[in-house]
Amino acid sequence: MHEQAVTAGDQVARRNLHVFVCTTVGRHHCAGLGAERVLQRLRDEVERRDLHWVRTTRMGCNQQHHQGPVMIVYPDGVWYGRLDAGDVDEIIDEHLVGGRPVERLRIVPDGPWSSTTLT
């Protein structure tokens, strides 16, 4: 029987990943900055490529829309920002499949980490 080689990337790719995209509405919020197109592209590609280990969920505001649209990948704790739909394929290829976060798109969330006033 022919055994298919399993690369490190393949092993990483089979981890369950949960991708949150902020789609909070408002001119200066993520939806007003194009987040719906980011989420739609992500969902279209996850479905088209049958990335069954990737779950996608809308999220509310994390007070980072000055760096929006914002995406968070768990369990990695990687935050992406200033995204447009054209960035999604690179995140899928490099991070969700390849296991390597896309450094050029990463952001560091600022402000009080423990805020209880998030909307």
What is the binding site for ligand FES (CB under 6 A)?
22, 24, 29-30, 61-65, 68, 70
In whole angstroms, the minimum distance from the beta carbon of 56 to ligand FES comes to 15
Nearer to ligand FES, 38 or 97 (CB): 38
In whole angstroms, the minimum distance from the beta carbon of 61 to ligand FES comes to 3
In whole angstroms, the minimum distance from the beta carbon of 117 to ligand FES comes to 12
Residue 7's Cβ-count burial label (10 Å; 0-12, 13-18, 19+) is: exposed
Nearer to ligand FES, 16 or 74 (CB): 74
Residue identified by tokens 């991070």 is 95
In 10 A of CB 100, how many CB atoms?
Answer: 11
Nearer to ligand FES, 20 or 46 (CB): 20
**E runs forming strands in the chain:** 17-22, 54-59, 71-74, 78-80
